[in-house]
Amino acid sequence: MAGPLARTSSDTARLMMGALDHQVGWQEPVYIPNPAAGQNWKFKVDGRYFTRVLSVTFVLQTSAVVANRFPQLQLLDSNGVLITAIGAGGTVVATSNLQNYLTVGNPFISAGASGGSFGYMPDLLIPPDWSWQSQVFGIDAGDQLSGIVLLVQRFPNDAAQIPVNG
Structural domain of 100: 30-157
Give Cβ neighbours of residue 110 (< 8 Å, ≥ 6 apart). 86, 87, 88, 89, 90, 100, 101, 102, 117, 118, 119, 120
pTM value? 0.84
Q: What's the number of domains the chain is made of?
A: 1
C-alpha 140/C-alpha 127 separation (Å) is 32
pLDDT of res. 158: 79
Is 166 inside a domain boundary? no
Do the beta carbons of residue 130 and residue 153 sit within 8 Å?
Answer: no
Q: Is residue 130 part of a domain?
A: yes
Query: What local confidence, expressed as pLDDT, does residue 10 receive?
Result: 64
9 inside domain: no
Predicted local confidence at residue 1, as pLDDT = 44
Average pLDDT of every residue of the chain: 89
* Parts of the chain with a pLDDT under 70: 1-22, 161-166
Report how far residue 44's alpha carbon sits from residue 76's, in angstroms, rounded to the nearest whole number. 9
Coil, strand or helix: which one is 154? strand
Q: Which residues contact 80 (CB under 8 A, 6 or more apart)?
A: 131
Q: What is the pLDDT of residue 42?
A: 98
- Which of these, 78, 85, 94, lies nearest to 46 by C-alpha position? 78
Residue 85's domain is classified under what CATH number? 2.60.120
- pLDDT for 25 equals 84
